[in-house]
Amino acid sequence: MTELELITMPMKKLIATMFILGLTIGAQGQEIDGVDAIMASITTVKIHQDSIDTSRLVAVYDYECRTQDAEGKAVTDRLKLCVQVGQHCTRSFPYRKYRMERQWAAGNTDMRSRKGTDGKLEFLEGWDFIGDDEFPQFKAESYCFMPEVWTNYPDGKVTVRDAIVPTIYETKEERIPIKWELADSSQATCLLNGQHWMVRYDEDIPTTAGPWKLCGLPGLIVEAVSEDSIHHFTLTDVQHIAAPIYYETSAITIKTSEAKLIKNRLKVFGNKNYAKNPLYYVTNRNSADEIYTDDGSLINGYFVHYDSERKANEAHVYQPLELSEQ
């Protein structure tokens, strides 16, 4: 199994901090043009989540992506990923959002943010998982491109939500089993949407789940590496926790197909201008730095950080998880 080299790089400035905390902001099925229109729509709807299942275990993965910064220097982007495994479906999404939802379940709902007197964003009590010590990691995770994936929800389908600022897209496709080629020592390979994967799984953990869209083996996937060694998932923890598996039914989303979403990602993020100017394709930037929910918090939203001249910071070169439709 190919191991990804761990590359450490000091964070000198925030680069394209589009962090998708929920990919959900109210008003099912509305097509909204521009950030200002989204913010106006947010004030008219109530954000809520519906529990669609209950987890019987929670798997935590470290995701790494080898890429380059805007100047061509090699960097490794990192994100913690959570996979909730329920009786009927699974949900793969950023672990930071899972922690946030656990705080909600514990009754800690005071998770708001505000601008301080110096103009900087302050996180108030309840947002302890984005404290001063963790904020560099919070910023670093914003480099990663990781959609939220519900497998077998609705029944027999795969639902995906992903954002191309300022639009949040949702796909619902028939669940087509991955064609795995099994090897010795609990290893397997597959071709998924143009990308070859090598994985290890553990039959002692009786579930077919795995990170992102990778699933369908006779045991939990414990490691997955793309053939080019750019993408790497590593299982770091398994917790037997009964917790709600949520699906936000009131999300502002544009319904599309998997093929079109993959094509749009490649077109927008794969553009040669993206790394140095990640919002090159957005014409309206005369909006606030943050996109808020109706109660003025960052919950279930995302934000794009600008520098003092209101120009989007640089991003890292896009490394797609998917190269084509199945």
DSSP symbols for 125-168:
TT-GGGSTTTHHHHHHHTT----EEEET-STTEEEEEEEETTEE
Q: Which of 93-102, 141-150, 212-221, 289-298 has the lowest mean pLDDT?
A: 289-298
Q: What is the pLDDT of residue 17?
A: 29
Q: What number is the average pLDDT over the span 44-57? A: 69
Q: Give one DSSP letter per residue of 209-268, joined into a string.
A: --STT---SSSEEEEEEETTSSEEEEEEEEE----EEEE-TT---EE--HHHHHHHHHHH
Q: How confident is the model at residue 60 (pLDDT cuts 50, 70, 90)?
A: very high
Write b or e for each residue in 148-160: b if 16 or more Cβ atoms lie within 10 A of its Cβ, otherwise e: bbbbbbeeeebbb
**Sign of the alpha-carbon dihedral angle for 204, 206, 211, 215:** positive
Q: Letter for the amino acid at 20?
A: I
Report the distance separating Cα 144 and Cα 21, nearest Å.
12
Tell me the pLDDT band of 104, cut-offs 50, 70 and 90.
confident
Looking at residue 267, what is its pLDDT?
94
Lowest mean pLDDT among 28-32, 71-75, 240-244: 28-32
Q: Which helix (H) or strand (E) holds 304?
A: none
Residue 288 confidence (pLDDT) above 70: no
The angle at the Cα of 239, spanning 178 to 106, to the nearest 5 degrees, equals 115
Nearest Cα residue to 282 out of 158, 130, 165, 178: 165
Indicate whether 47 pLDDT > 50. no
What torsion, rounded to 10 degrees, do the Cα atoms 242, 243, 247, 248 define?
Answer: 170
Both tokens of 170, joined, read 């949702």
Q: How large is the average pLDDT for residues 261-270? A: 94
Percent of the chain with pLDDT over 70: 64
Q: Which of 227-241, 259-273, 279-293 has the lowest mean pLDDT?
A: 279-293
Whole-angstrom distance, CA of residue 257 vs CA of residue 266: 14
Q: Could you tell me the two tokens for 224? A: 């997955």
pLDDT at 150: 98
Name the residue with tokens 């990691």: 137
Residue 14 banded pLDDT, cuts 50, 70, 90: very low
pLDDT higher than 90, residue 225: yes
pLDDT of amino acid 37: 40
Do 74 and 4 touch, CB atoms closer than 8 A? no
**Looking at the predicted structure, is the pLDDT value of residue 291 above 80?**
no
pLDDT at residue 81 greater than cutoff 90: yes
Element (H, E) at 299: none
What per-residue confidence (pLDDT) applies to 276? 86
Give the residue, 260 or 13, on which the prediction is more confident.
260
320/309 Cα distance (integer angstroms): 30
Burial label for 218, CB within 10 Å (0-12, 13-18, 19+), is middle
pLDDT by residue (tens digit) across 125-157?
333 345 555 666 666 777 889 999 999 999 999
Mean pLDDT over the full length of the chain: 74
Q: How far is CA 75 from CA 23, 304, 314, in A?
A: 26, 21, 14
